[in-house]
Structure 1
Amino acid sequence: MTVPMRARSRREAHRAATPLELFFDLCFVVAIAQAGRQLVHALAEGHWGHGIGGYLMLFFAVWWAWMNFSWFSSAYDTDDALYRVVTLIQIAGVLILAAGVPRAFAAGDFGVVWFGFLVMRLAMVSQWLRAAYGCTGAERRTALTYAVGVTVCQVGWLGLLIVPAGDVPWVFAVVGALELAVPAVAERTWQTAWHPHHIAERYGLFLIIVLGETISAATVAVQSALDENDELGVLLPLAGGGLLLVFAAYWIYFAVPIHLHLRSNRQAFLWGYGHYLVYVSAAAIGAGIEIAVEESVGSAHLSLRAASACVTVPAALFMFTVWLIHSRHQKRGPAQQLVLPVSSVAVLACTFAGQLAVLAAGLVAAATVAMGATLTARQGTALEG
């Protein structure tokens, strides 16, 4: 049954992610895996600029499509038949986009990626138009502005299909900036009724999806290397260090109740946009572990230090970005505030630890978790006293 699409309340009790939202997130694993796989191939061959640039652009498309849906659903999820069908269409667009990632990476052909994005965005525009139909005044203008803004940006992405390959990054930068501006313009007079606890949960669940893909990619890489080379002594430190990094990434992120910080659009949008770096670095850790494994068995065309950097740089970026946009809002005192920034520098320094670089980075990450937990416990004891 179709019902009028009305804004949900920010004060709604016990608001949690729906099965449809969880299914939506899960389907993004395919696109994330494709982007990570192409990054591994490019960096393993020494094509740094092409690999990193392509990865950042394609991950932006995936992340932004997820962002659009997540914030809309937090405000207007009716969970009726029409809403479900439109969301399933968006999922189809994600899968089309994922299918086009290899071609975009290898040949700069963004046709399939653009079409998949088009399917997602047209579905998103229809959702905003439906929301506009069900409301009045400033709220209606906000919904219509979103619909128009998304449509204009989608037309802008046509530039990827017509400009020379060398100009693609410029098109991405310009249209990407326009995409980021749409929410600020649309909500300047009316704030949509997104739910702080729901948004915090949705972002956390998506991080779990990304970390799960990281573990999966690293596991397959280690298994393949064992099947082909049987270098257990070399691979164990890589596997152990990589696992510690992923476990620490989970612990560090979920150590604070961030929904208490999300009081208005100003805090929430900066926090939400900053997660691009959180997600892109978390996914890149898995790609880096794959590259380190390939280098250890002689399958990659890059140095040991460069392969180590493929793990330590995204791991350090993840730790610092989580502190910058997420954890620092709940930290008290200089000791707690300095743990993650100092640890990110220490992880970077592990790049120079030779064959034990990944293991060293994992141990630093584990020590970071232990230090953070100890300081939090001490603070709690002091407050009780």
Structure 2
Amino acid sequence: MDRRHGADAERVALAVPYSHALVERGALCGVQFGPVEKAGDLYQQTSIELRRFMPTHPVAKVRYLVWDLLPAGIQAALLGIGRVRCFAVVAGGLCVGSVAGRAGAASEILLYMNESPPTGKTGKFGLSRRLVPMTGRDPEEHGRTASPLELLFDLTFVVAVGTAAFQFAEMVAEGHAGQAVIAFVLAMFAISIAWISFSWFASAFATDDWLYRAVTMLQMVGVVVFSLGLPAMFHSVEEGGHLELRAMVIGYVVMRIAMVLQWWRAARQSPSFHDVGMANIRWTVIVQAGWIVVAFVHMPISAVFAAFGVLGALEVVLPVLTQGSAGGTPWHPHHVAERYGLFAIIVLGEGVVGTVASSGDLLGGGDGTHWTWNAIAVVIAGVGLTFGMWWMYFLTPFGDILVHRRGRGYLFGYGHIPLFIGVAGAGAGLHVAGLYMEHHAKISGTAVVLALAIPVGLYMLMIYLLHTLLLSTADRFHILLIALTIAVLVTAVLLAAAGVAIAVCLLVVMLAPFVTVIGYETIGHRHQQQMLEELGTQ
């Protein structure tokens, strides 16, 4: 413990999760607190002081809850008139005690921290997940990883991505490739925007208390409603003349309004991010009002697509309008990179789903004993392609890059949208191949291979593009790898056009990501290491 500016600390109990140091120069008049192990005898008093601080009487508990829910302005007014001696928010633990300020008058200290309190026994009427002020997370927090709630949230998007990929595959197999691409891009864009919005907010402000969890559950309900509206939207695009968006928009607006609630809480409880939070609320509400008009007001189809383009552009630039640079909120580079990697794995799961769907009537036959060459080839190609795409994604250490290139967070975040489209499209392409081999498709073999090769190519090009733009360095070796990858995909299409069996063409497409994998593991990793070292010295 260290005294500064003449402040004397008395009867202070200190509890610091993970032994993080506390520094508070405002309410504590310059008193600095060190980690628990440096607090000496004060650590022994922690349990006594915490029992005094945490009341067991229900009425007292309500008082603390009411205080936490009060707007910041009312809290400040109460502090000003002396109804509450002191209230402050700092990071890392919980402190209760008395501190003599410069004027010599002792002030009671009530410090809430941005880490959830222990979830042990809290009394007869206690809450295990008490409300924690949403003050912003530490962007340099050691060991930050995805939470179980975030993983559960991602699983709801499996339904949305899977539904969009299935509808896309069915439309392509019916010969409506153009309409299928439009509907699929619309669906994946909305899915990606909703997921990105939550993930970046969670990285910066997640508290994991009961209110945060409840609002997140509301977002999950919105994802399910959105998914239920996807078939109607795809069907309307296929029929032409109108765009059925009502159910989709209802689910999407539910997701976005839940984010408004989260931003309102952050704006109220974190003075540093009050303006950012209120700006997010204003712009999000404006854009959602636009989506409601597009979905429920009858307009010509051309006007609908024009409005979709404008509103979609606003969704993408919304963070720029509300917080300026990508460093406007305290998001964690490695946590964000991990979240994107996990979502990429979830979307890659569509490749496995597509493999199962494509081999359903081929693998095993009617009695489950008839194995065909086509069935074996589809399984090998599907699993091999998914594995190669997974390997290729994690060759780039996005977390390490974002540590040094925090200002390019927008590029990383929204640059993944076409990447996610490519991954989900590859899974749908495998499904199209299965429909073709089951004689349920109305397209040629060449079109089938294109339905797989194009999204795979999009995915791999986005990997290279993100790598180059984030590092601001081009590697000539990448040009060679891209050329060889394109050559593999073109070869697969030419083989299909020449009448070669689709199963063989699928195996050729499977080789595309392994061009990059082999190139990196043999030569490219040294080039990348040199780029990272140069980035660290800048």
**By the TM > 0.5 criterion, same fold?**
yes
Aligned to 1:367: 515
**Structure 1 residues 151 and 379, CA gap change in structure 2 (3 angstroms):** closer
SS at match of 1:211: helix
CA offset at residue 309 of structure 1? 0.2
CA offset at residue 330 of structure 1? 6.4
SS at match of 1:157: helix
Residue 328 of structure 2: which of 191, 214, 227 is its match?
191
Residue 255 of structure 2: which of 120, 136, 155 is its match?
120
- Name whichever of 174-183 and 366-375 sits farther off: 366-375
Question: Which one-letter code corresponds to 1:245 in the other structure?
Answer: L
**Structure 1 residues 380 and 291, CA gap change in structure 2 (3 angstroms):** closer
Q: Provide Cα deviations, 1:286-329, integer angstroms capped at 9, x if missing partner.
A: 10011112112321010110010001010111111011013775
Residue 373 of structure 2: which of 227, 233, 239 is its match?
233
Unaligned runs of 5+ in 1: none
- 1:73-84 to 2 correspondence within 5 Å? 73-84=202-213
Aligned to 1:287: 428
- 1:159-178 to 2 correspondence within 5 Å? 159-162=294-297, 163-178=299-314
**Structure 1 residues 231 and 106, CA gap change in structure 2 (3 angstroms):** farther
Q: Provide Cα deviations, 1:210-258, integer angstroms capped at 9, x if missing partner.
A: 0112212321221234366867222333332222221111001101211
- 1:51-200 to 2 correspondence within 5 Å? 51-107=180-236, 108-136=243-271, 139-158=273-292, 159-162=294-297, 163-188=299-324, 191-200=328-337
Aligned to 2:167: 38
SS at match of 1:300: coil
Report the Cα distance in structure 2 between the residues aligned to 1:95 and 1:379, rounded to whole angstroms.
Answer: 44
Q: Provide Cα deviations, 1:35-73, integer angstroms capped at 9, x if missing partner.
A: 001101110111112111001001111111100000000
Aligned to 2:437: 296
**Structure 1 residues 48 and 119, CA gap change in structure 2 (3 angstroms):** same
Does the Cα contact within 8 Å between 1:347 and 1:364 map onto a contact in 2? yes
Determine whether 1:27 maps to 2:153: no
Report the Cα distance in structure 2 between the residues aligned to 1:213 and 1:329, rounded to whole angstroms.
Answer: 27
- 1:259-298 to 2 correspondence within 5 Å? 259-262=399-402, 263-264=404-405, 266-298=407-439
Greater RCO, 1 or 2 (C-alpha within 8 Å, sep 6+): 1
Report the Cα distance in structure 2 between the residues aligned to 1:179 and 1:214, rounded to whole angstroms.
Answer: 28
Does the Cα contact within 8 Å between 1:157 and 1:175 map onto a contact in 2? yes
CA offset at residue 380 of structure 1? 9.3
SS at match of 1:326: helix
Report the Cα distance in structure 1 between the residues aligned to 2:386 and 2:223, rounded to whole angstroms.
Answer: 25
**Structure 1 residues 347 and 272, CA gap change in structure 2 (3 angstroms):** farther
Report the Cα distance in structure 2 between the residues aligned to 1:381 and 1:96, rounded to whole angstroms.
Answer: 45
CA offset at residue 14 of structure 1? 0.5
Aligned to 1:256: 396
Report the Cα distance in structure 1 between the residues aligned to 2:528 and 2:386, rounded to whole angstroms.
Answer: 27
- Name whichever of 338-347 and 151-160 sits farther off: 338-347
Report the Cα distance in structure 1 between the residues aligned to 2:528 and 2:451, rounded to whole angstroms.
Answer: 37
- 1:320-359 to 2 correspondence within 5 Å? 320-326=461-467, 329=470, 334-349=475-490, 350-354=492-496, 355=501, 356-359=504-507
CA offset at residue 30 of structure 1? 0.3
Q: Provide Cα deviations, 1:140-165, integer angstroms capped at 9, x if missing partner.
A: 11111111111111111121332233
Does the Cα contact within 8 Å between 1:308 and 1:357 map onto a contact in 2? yes
Report the Cα distance in structure 2 between the residues aligned to 1:135 and 1:377, rounded to whole angstroms.
Answer: 42
CA offset at residue 208 of structure 1? 0.5
Residue 146 of structure 2: which of 17, 20, 25 is its match?
17
CA offset at residue 186 of structure 1? 0.9
Question: Which one-letter code corresponds to 2:287 in the other structure?
Answer: C
Determine whether 1:8 maps to 2:142: no
Larger proportion of strand: 2
**RMSD, aligned CA:** 2.3
Question: Which one-letter code corresponds to 1:208 in the other structure?
Answer: I
Question: Which one-letter code corresponds to 1:100 in the other structure?
Answer: G
Does the Cα contact within 8 Å between 1:71 and 1:194 map onto a contact in 2? yes
SS at match of 2:134: coil
- Name whichever of 316-325 and 105-114 sits farther off: 105-114
Determine whether 1:242 maps to 2:390: no
TM-score normalized by the length of structure 1? 0.93
Q: Provide Cα deviations, 1:84-120, integer angstroms capped at 9, x if missing partner.
A: 0000110010011001111111133211111111111
Does the Cα contact within 8 Å between 1:261 and 1:267 map onto a contact in 2? no
Larger proportion of helix: 1
Does the Cα contact within 8 Å between 1:315 and 1:347 map onto a contact in 2? no
Aligned to 1:222: 359
Does the Cα contact within 8 Å between 1:225 and 1:294 map onto a contact in 2? no
Report the Cα distance in structure 2 between the residues aligned to 1:345 and 1:103, rounded to whole angstroms.
Answer: 35
